[in-house]
Amino acid sequence: MNANQFIATIADQQVIQAIQSAEAQTSGELRVFVTDKFVEDPIAEAWKTFARLNMQNTKQRNAVLIFVGPKARKFAIVADEGIHHFCKEAFWNQLAHQLSEGFKAGDYTSSLVRLIEDIGRALAAHFPRLGNDVNELPNEVLRD
């Protein structure tokens, strides 16, 4: 599957609903970014995107970016210092492995939804939604 087919295969509305559902339980923020560019180092690109989207500006530094580069068949999950303080490398590595297996099986949207649900549970455990919580970042699937 080429990058355009991958991008077309992602059911944005299902991903957006998963983000909204996860964020209903937490003050944390989740975003999904899919690039049409070939990326050598998805982690470095994810951090650049994280900064460009001002995700480091959340009040509790608890934003997570799922960065997908289908042309390179690579992805990265990066988390700000607030959530990374609680969820260590093993947690993120496990999630990355699960997403990789789902992508290999061609289960793109469902794999992203499961990942968002898992991240949402972790965020909710450490950053439960407060009565005055506001959605600090948009929920749409971003593409370039």
Residue range 95-113, pLDDT digits in tens: 999 999 999 998 899 999 9
Q: How confident is the model at residue 8 (pLDDT cuts 50, 70, 90)?
A: low
- Name the least confident of 21-25, 34-38, 119-123: 34-38
Closest CA to 7 of 70, 85, 80, 64: 70
Q: What is the pLDDT of residue 40?
A: 94
User: Does position 6 have pLDDT exceeding 80, yes or no?
Assistant: no
Closest CA to 98 of 141, 70, 66: 66
Question: Which is it for the CA torsion 50, 112, 25, 76, positive or negative?
Answer: negative
- Name the least confident of 6-15, 52-61, 97-106: 6-15
Q: What one-letter code names the amino acid at 44?
A: A
- Give the predicted TM-score (pTM) of the model: 0.93
Q: How confident is the model at residue 2 (pLDDT cuts 50, 70, 90)?
A: low
Q: What is the pLDDT of residue 132?
A: 77
Mean pLDDT of 38-46: 96
Distances (CA, A) of 56 to 44, 69, 73, 111, 116: 15, 21, 26, 25, 19
61-98 pLDDT, tens digit each? 999 999 999 888 899 999 999 998 999 999 999 999 99
